């Protein structure tokens, strides 16, 4: 039984020969590993990196529209895979890309660009996902990023923020009328332990002023489950001070221009603003935006039972969604409602 690979769709004779030679090498290599060519329904096709990237991003765009991936994930794929394309220097056929190309790119990021091991691994994961997509489409015979190991991350850079420093940050924000809603975002991360990406997805309707709670819909929650967190007393008072109930219910709590609005922002915007504030106050890089959550959890454990803090942070393995799905019946934690939760020191 003969099995032929047609190359008529390749116009250039030089490209036909080049592709055929490469295909023979790949086939021989796969045969040595036990590959059965008669079990394969279709041959891999000649496709340029740019075309494959475009098709991949179109698929991810649909997943973003359906809510199966986050906007930040989509942006990471777009930026990180494009960075690899730029590194290659030209639009190569996919079959030409080797494990060594990916390794060299990762070394470039880690050694020359001095990116962290975490960032290097994040790029690697994006490339694995992209090439897995290409593999399923049978555009390549193997994933060049599949067998590359993650780099061992260094010591965690992020540190909790000491109370005096934290108070200086909150006071600095309170003095700036343009940042009053950004201050709210900081309080939500510090006292309600709501993740940055979730904060960007919250609308005014998600706040129950009567129950002193915030409802986090499944579509914006990290674990894809609807959940409720309780608002500590001082944060509830600040929300009332902002008169958020007068804002249209469908507005995002913090949107474009760092105020309530219809245009959703990415959590990267919140982090970028934090970096500006850190520079203004000449604070070290170890005090990161997410440090607010670390600091808040550590502080609340000193005031409340660990199980209460665990539920507020939604770190429990016990599903709490069923008890709080209906906002009308979601009364939150009475102990946290009475808690004046400000940095001490």
Closest Cα to residue 198, out of 221, 214, 215? 221
Q: In the prediction, which pLDDT does 201 show?
A: 94
Q: Give the CA angle between residues 114, 131, 82 to the nearest 5°.
A: 50
Q: In the prediction, which pLDDT does 329 show?
A: 37
Alpha helices in the chain (DSSP H): 13-32, 49-66, 71-88, 99-107, 117-136, 163-174, 180-191, 196-201, 233-241, 267-280, 291-301, 306-313, 321-324, 334-337
Same domain, 219 and 293: yes
Whether 96 contacts 26, CB under 8 Å: no
Domain of residue 249, CATH code: 1.10.443.10
Question: What confidence tens digit (pLDDT) does each residue in 184-243 have?
Answer: 999 999 999 999 999 999 999 999 999 999 999 988 888 788 999 999 999 999 999 999
Top mean pLDDT of 62-71, 279-288, 297-306 is at 279-288
Q: In the prediction, which pLDDT does 208 show?
A: 94
Q: Which of 119, 136, 153 is the last residue of a domain?
A: 136
3-class SS at 335? helix
Token pair for 267: 């959590």
Give 133 or 48, the one with higher predicted confidence.
133
Tell me the average pLDDT across 150-164.
84
The structure tokens 């520079």 sit at 279
Residue 124 lies in a domain: yes
Closest Cα to residue 191, out of 19, 330, 302, 340? 340
3-class SS at 214? strand
Q: In the prediction, which pLDDT does 31 show?
A: 64
Same domain, 321 and 286: yes
Residue 54 lies in a domain: yes
Residue 143 lies in a domain: no
Same domain, 201 and 329: yes
Same domain, 131 and 182: no
Same domain, 102 and 167: no
Does the pLDDT value for residue 40 go beyond 50? no
Q: Which of 100, 120, 136 is the last residue of a domain?
A: 136
Tell me the average pLDDT across 99-104.
96
Give 194 or 92, the one with higher predicted confidence.
194
Same domain, 176 and 267: yes
Give 10 or 290, the one with higher predicted confidence.
290
Same domain, 69 and 211: no
Same domain, 87 and 176: no
Token pair for 248: 């249209």
- Among 148-157, 164-173, 268-277, 283-292, the least confident range: 148-157
3-class SS at 333? coil
What is the C-alpha separation between 89 and 102, in angstroms, rounded?
Answer: 13
Based on the structure, what is the number of domains in the chain? 2
- The answer for residues whose C-beta is within 8 angstroms of residue 90's C-beta and 6 or more apart is none
Does the pLDDT value for residue 336 go beyond 80? no
Residue 115 lies in a domain: yes
264 — pLDDT class (breaks 50, 70, 90): very high
Whether 19 contacts 7, CB under 8 Å: yes
- Among 23-37, 53-67, 113-127, 213-227, the least confident range: 23-37
Same domain, 220 and 291: yes
Does the pLDDT value for residue 26 go beyond 90? no
301 — pLDDT class (breaks 50, 70, 90): confident
Its domain, for residue 55, covers 44-136
The structure tokens 């490209």 sit at 15
Domain of residue 124, CATH code: 1.10.150.130
Same domain, 173 and 254: yes
Residue 342 lies in a domain: no
Q: In the prediction, which pLDDT does 216 show?
A: 94
Residue 16 lies in a domain: no
Give 11 or 95, the one with higher predicted confidence.
95
Question: What confidence tens digit (pLDDT) does each residue in 306-327 have?
Answer: 777 778 877 654 333 232 223 3
* Long-range contacts at 256-264 (CB < 8 A, ≥ 24 apart): 258/178, 258/179, 258/181, 258/182, 259/181, 260/181, 260/204, 264/71, 264/200, 264/201
Same domain, 168 and 229: yes
6 — pLDDT class (breaks 50, 70, 90): low
**DSSP annotation string for 250-302:** TSBSS-GGGSSBSS---HHHHHHHHHHHHHHTT--TTS-TTHHHHHHHHHHHT
What is the C-alpha separation between 16 and 7, in angstroms, rounded?
Answer: 7
Residue 19 lies in a domain: no
Q: In the prediction, which pLDDT does 15 show?
A: 74
What is the C-alpha separation between 30 and 34, in angstroms, rounded?
Answer: 6
The structure tokens 């890309």 sit at 97
- C-beta neighbour count of 160 within 10 angstroms: 18
114: left (phi > 0), else alpha (psi -120 to 50), else beta?
left
Closest Cα to residue 242, out of 174, 193, 336? 174
Same domain, 210 and 318: yes
The structure tokens 């494990």 sit at 99
Residue 218 lies in a domain: yes
- The answer for residues whose C-beta is within 8 angstroms of residue 92's C-beta and 6 or more apart is 48, 49
């Amino acid at each position: 039984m003969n099995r032929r690979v047609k190359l008529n769709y390749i116009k250039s004779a030089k490209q036909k020969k080049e592709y055929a030679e490469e295909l023979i090498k790949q086939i021989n290599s796969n045969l040595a590993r036990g590959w059965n060519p008669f079990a394969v329904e279709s041959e891999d096709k000649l496709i340029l990196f740019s075309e494959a990237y475009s098709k991949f991003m179109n698929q991810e765009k649909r997943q973003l529209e359906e809510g199966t991936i986050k906007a930040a994930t989509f942006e990471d794929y777009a930026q990180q895979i494009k960075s690899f394309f730029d590194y290659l220097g030209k639009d190569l056929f996919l079959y030409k890309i080797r494990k060594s190309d990916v390794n060299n790119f990762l070394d470039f990021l880690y050694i020359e660009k001095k990116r962290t091991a975490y960032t290097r691994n994040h790029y690697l994961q994006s490339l694995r996902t992209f090439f897995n997509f290409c593999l399923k489409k049978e555009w390549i015979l193997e994933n060049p990023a599949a067998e590359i190991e993650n780099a061992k991350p260094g010591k965690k850079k992020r540190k909790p923020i000491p109370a005096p420093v934290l108070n200086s940050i909150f006071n600095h924000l309170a003095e700036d009328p343009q940042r009053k809603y950004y201050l709210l975002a900081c309080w939500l991360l510090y006292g309600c332990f709501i993740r940055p990406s979730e904060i960007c997805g919250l609308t005014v309707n998600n706040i129950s002023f009567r129950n002193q709670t915030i409802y986090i819909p499944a579509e914006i929650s990290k674990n894809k489950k609807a959940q409720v967190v309780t608002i500590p007393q001082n944060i509830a008072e600040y929300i009332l001070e902002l008169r958020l109930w007068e804002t249209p219910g469908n507005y995002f709590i913090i949107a474009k221009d760092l105020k309530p609005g219809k245009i959703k922002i990415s959590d990267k915007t919140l982090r970028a603003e934090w970096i500006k504030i850190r520079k203004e106050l000449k604070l070290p890089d170890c005090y990161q935006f997410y440090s607010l959550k670390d600091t808040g959890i550590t502080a609340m454990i000193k005031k409340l039972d660990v199980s209460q803090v665990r539920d507020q942070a939604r770190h429990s393995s016990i599903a709490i969604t069923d008890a709080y799905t209906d906002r009308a019946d979601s009364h939150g934690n009475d102990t946290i409602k009475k808690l004046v939760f400000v940095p001490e020191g």
